[in-house]
Structure 1
Amino acid sequence: MAEETPTNGASDKPATQTAPKMRILGQYIRDLSFENIVARKGIQQSGKPDVQVQVNLDARKRDNENEYEVLTKFNVTSKTHDPEVTLYVLELEYSGIFHVENVPEEQLHPFLLIECPRQLFPFVRRIVSDVTQDGGFPGLNLENIDFVALYRQGLAQRQQQKTEDQTTPTN
């Protein structure tokens, strides 16, 4: 049996598909805040803390061709269970500047909000660990984040908001 070579339908030449290319041109801390509430208020820390992490993502086109800035925002809050006392709050905005080529327009948005944050995440994890440790707590090692699920959740929220906006009567 002979092997078939896929064609692009317009001629007998094989279809060529160029793989997506991504380079990190730069990355930086846009904003960082750490508040050690235990030390400031003189509260005694007891029990295992409950750590909550919120993640938000944003991307925008830059002036240069094929350049995008991707912003990751992390809000980390550590509280005790009983009684509920906030131990610390960490807010981090970390940006990366990316050169992206060969990504179809319809796939660019998910690419920027999934693949780019994956590249930035190890650096964010290190910063969060260092800051919490330098702030007087055990270094917080963030769990891996499923950026695909996060992207889908964001799409679902936008769709729900759009539906609510369309069904809300205006006066």
Structure 2
Amino acid sequence: MTETQAPGNGAQPAATPPKVNMRILAQYMRDLSFENVAAQKKLQGSNVQPDIQVQVSLDANKREGENQYDVATKFKITSKNKSDDQVLFIVELDYVGLFLIEGVPQEQLHPFLLIECPRMIFPFARRIISDVTRDGGFPPLNLDTVDFLALYKQELQRQAALQAQQGQAPAPN
């Protein structure tokens, strides 16, 4: 029987990083609103050319349970007619996933919560938005995939610029 031994210089093998475990424990709509402005204003006709604007914001909060987090993706979608800038519809969806996350180092937890978690629940939110717009009398709106990494980086840049601006503000007299 042979035994393998560590190198003679006393160096320890590198510790393997902990295995990352992420599970979606629950997901739900915290808020959903669909406003069919076109129907309210009795807008009709074949001259409708929708211009759709999508705003996405993210939020994450620690829950009382160990390693549990709420991650919310908030969508505000406004469709306007290109020809006269009239609003056709507005959809607002606040969709939340409850996650169990283990093995993510603390310094990587914030980006993990705001990039990977929204990526996991996005298809469900997209489906809800598609169904709501279809049920509201419009063609189903199938959102393009959101680049949550780019969104995260954009928010970091916005915060850095805001901090730099606040740091350069003149002192009050």
Aligned to 1:111: 112
Which portions of structure 1, spanning 4 or more consecutive aligned residues, are displaced by more than 6 angstroms?
Answer: none
Distance 2:87 2:72 in 1: 26
Cα deviation, residue 41, structure 1: 1.1
Aligned to 1:4: none
Matched position secondary structure for 1:159: helix
Aligned to 2:23: 23
The residue type paired with residue 37 of structure 2 is I
Aligned alpha-carbon RMSD (Å): 1.7
Cα deviation, residue 14, structure 1: 4.9
- Between stretches 37-46 and 97-106, larger displacement belongs to 37-46
Unaligned runs of 5+ residues in structure 2 are: 1-6
Distance 1:170 1:42 in 2: 54
Structure 1 residues 142 and 10, CA gap change in structure 2 (3 angstroms): farther
Unaligned runs of 5+ residues in structure 1 are: 1-6
Aligned to 2:82: 81
Question: Could you report, residue by residue, the CA deviation over 1:114-139 in whole angstroms, capped at 9, with x for unpaired residues?
Answer: 00000010000100000000000000
Question: Could you report, residue by residue, the CA deviation over 1:12-58 in whole angstroms, capped at 9, with x for unpaired residues?
Answer: 34522222110001110000000000101111252320111000001
2:53 is aligned with 1:47: no
Distance 2:66 2:170 in 1: 42
Question: Could you report, residue by residue, the CA deviation over 1:65-121 in whole angstroms, capped at 9, with x for unpaired residues?
Answer: 101100110000000111111000000000011000010111000000000000010
Does the CA contact (< 8 Å) of 2:49 and 2:83 recur in 1? no
The structure with the largest alpha-carbon Rg is 2
**Structure 2-normalised TM-score?**
0.90
Aligned to 1:154: 155
**Structure 1-normalised TM-score?**
0.91
Counterparts of 1:91-170 in structure 2 under 5 Å? 91-170=92-171
The residue type paired with residue 120 of structure 1 is I
Distance 2:171 2:50 in 1: 46
Counterparts of 1:7-18 in structure 2 under 5 Å? 11-18=11-18
Does the CA contact (< 8 Å) of 2:79 and 2:88 recur in 1? yes
Distance 1:98 1:57 in 2: 15
Question: Aligned residues, how many?
Answer: 164
